[in-house]
């Protein structure tokens, strides 16, 4: 018995509807994943600032132990260079008996400001609005490291 082809050839491929459904699924997944990924990247950059601030505090205390006062400036000439700028820019405010070192975010981290002082008071003074309020979220001794004000 001989089989006859009906003469209608079916083309292999993807229909427009299937393509549109796939694109909608990808768009929905991207809308959910991209903000979470951006927050993850930001959380990964925060330890740069907190580590550098802690190191500066140790250097300041060592200087104070040797000289019975803090340096007059945070410069290499004074023996107290600030950390190199990365995603944060560093500055300090000094007196003979007190200091505050600040890390202010730049670029994608511009909404973050962290400080530390001679009493080891760690503070978050600025956060992105979506991360919460810095004043409410940052008790003394805490650097906010997660969305929602978690330390």
The domains found in the chain, sorted by start residue, are 16-137 (3.30.700)
Mean pLDDT of the chain: 87
Pair of tokens at residue 148: 């929602």
Looking at the chain, list the stretches that DSSP marks H as alpha helix, in order from N- to C-terminal side: 16-67, 134-137
Give the mean model confidence (pLDDT) for residues 25-46: 91
Pairing relationship of beta strands 88-94 and 99-105 according to DSSP bridges: antiparallel
pLDDT at 137: 46
Separation of CA 83 from chain center: 17
Percent of the chain with pLDDT over 90: 56
Give the mean model confidence (pLDDT) for residues 41-49: 94
Q: Is the pTM of this model over 0.85?
A: no
3-state secondary structure of 52: helix
Asked whether the predicted pLDDT for residue 88 surpasses 90, the reply is: yes
Enumerate residues 6+ apart whose C-beta is below 8 A from 78: 71, 72
pLDDT at 3: 59
Dihedral over Cα of 9, 10, 12, 18: its sign: positive
Asked whether the predicted pLDDT for residue 138 surpasses 60, the reply is: no
Please indicate whether residue 139 or residue 129 has the higher confidence score (pLDDT): 129
Give the mean model confidence (pLDDT) for residues 56-63: 93
3-state secondary structure of 116: strand
């Amino acid at each position: 018995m001989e089989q006859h082809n009906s003469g209608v050839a079916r083309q292999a491929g993807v229909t427009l509807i299937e393509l549109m459904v796939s694109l909608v699924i990808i768009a929905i997944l991207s809308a959910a994943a991209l903000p979470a990924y951006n927050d993850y990247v930001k959380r990964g950059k925060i330890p740069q600032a907190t580590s550098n601030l802690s190191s500066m505090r140790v250097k300041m205390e060592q200087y104070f132990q040797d000289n019975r006062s803090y340096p007059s400036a945070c410069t290499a000439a004074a023996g107290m260079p600030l950390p190199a700028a990365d995603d944060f820019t560093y500055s300090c405010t000094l007196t003979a008996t007190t200091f505050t070192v600040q890390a202010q975010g730049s670029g994608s981290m511009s909404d973050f400001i962290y400080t530390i002082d001679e009493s080891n008071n760690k503070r978050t003074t600025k956060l992105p609005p979506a991360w919460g309020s810095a004043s409410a979220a940052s008790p003394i001794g805490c650097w906010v490291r997660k969305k929602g004000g978690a330390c």
